[in-house]
Structure 1
Amino acid sequence: MNSPIPDEGEATDSVGGSQDLIPVDDVADMVESILKVLEPKVNPRPVFSLSGLRQEQIEKLHLIEGPSLKLITNSRRLDEECVRGEDPLWSHDTLYRQLCLLQSSVARTEASARTFIDSIFYRAAAILSSRSSDGKRVVLGLALPIEATVGNDEATLKGFVDYAIFYTRNERALSFMRDPLLSKIRLHSDSVFVSLGHQLPQSLGEMYACSSAVNKKIIRGALTNGHSWIFLLLKVHPNGQGGTYSVSQEISIMTPGPDYVLEVNSNACAQVSVVLASWIEKSFDDLDSSEWFSPNVQFAPVS
């Protein structure tokens, strides 16, 4: 016996009724959610290793070179800064003698550069401690791991920050020393990031990654091999995608001596240590009139 053909309403009821059908808008939302899950697999975000960054990758990250930083020479101010932090351990004279000893006793390798950097860091810390009236102290973090997404999810930068100098209140400093995480810098401190070796792309990559990790639009850093120092300023664009960086002229703490043998220059050591102290103190600030550097803007002639 043939069953009677149900009418349209009965057919609808036989498949569960119209109330079981999923609205088109909900289906679209489900598809969009699935695409978001699949998107990283279909179009994976590039991951750049900080230690292997090259200039072409810096340009892909939309980091553009801006005005260079011109050193402002001020002998009187430098002399005033040299007497700060003049305790028996890390006075300027102690720093100078320490660097002379290192220059005559330590073989020049990439690893030995750290002995010079550490000495100048200790002097900068002494300068800062002498003028800190709000209980702040300086802490050094070495080879801190970092993995940060930059440029509105455009890329991931992964690697290590060679030096992270952490300037904050005593209780936060102790917390950081127990558990050195960049997230603590984000919440409670100022800091500056210092990279070893003459690798500008690596330094810029570290600074860009740190700007994302600590949620700051301005980051100061330095590039050094222990003997020569270049100071860096990175300004990230307001939308977080790319930015402009400025590079200082190179400051060398060495000078040719008798028979052209390099010797430590006391005045240059003082200049680097006071600039480093200032760079730490104003790590997340733009340049102002009290700086040791000014933007070296080249103006086109007016016709």
Structure 2
Amino acid sequence: MNASDPQDPRGARVTGTIPPQDLEAPGTTRETEPRPDHGESTYEGHGRLTGRAALITGGDSGIGRAVALAFAREGADVAITAMPEEAQDAAEATAAISEAGTRAAHFEGDLRDEDFAASLPGRTLEEFGKLDILVLNAAYQQARDGIDTVSSEEFDRVIRTNLYSQFWTLRAAVPHLQPGASIIITSSVQAAQPSAGLFDYAMTKAAQAALVKALAPELGSKGIRINAVAPGPVWTPLIPSTGWPEHVPEFGKDSPLGRPAQPAELAPAYVLLASDEASYISGAVVPVTGGKPF
């Protein structure tokens, strides 16, 4: 096959068989087998985000890390957040940003803490002098055996991580965003095709999609765009730490393309939505699902 020939998407970025594994949340890249592909050896930037500053929650691993790497290679300064348990992943992610020739920042803390979540836009402004792109990506999910088995504490963890934290960070960011800024939320195919075993996670993902559509008119009047990306099955540390070890080897095989995505395959959608090439895209939920209906 010549370099110019199109690639069969069924075999793209396949990294081999996924073995059974059960990680403790939040899970880390070094524990995930095979190691997710964030685009380290493949993503090439073209200056689409030169001179801009981005904040990405959960940018230490998975989709967030792939987006951070892509943004940096497109010329943006990038700040990421991570839990203390994810310090090694965060260090690797910030090193990759720096290697791309842009500035990196890492804010360590728990997004369920209102003070921490609300501080992030201001801290990004202190680091870079501006905030042009906000990616609300961090999330938590766990497999459920039934709604009657879920404690209020566990339900609260999902809601606070996936919804409250985004509200706190977004509320703090909007007064500082200038015309041309872009907000991107990581939703999920679960917003449209919810699974009983992830009912609480699916609730939050549907709410995120609703938030994007609700805020697009308000923010559009300020010259700010807001969109979401709705991934299908993506191979990240979130998956083996969800609590379904027996299902991990089959993960993503039910998609029309017959495999899960790699995080690197999600990053171009975020780059598009962050760039001026998407200047008329706002209020959209962009599915990247491998053909799963959304």
- Same fold by TM (over 0.5)? no
TM-score (normalised: structure 2): 0.38
More strand by share: 1
Rg larger in 1 or in 2? 1
TM-score (normalised: structure 1) = 0.37
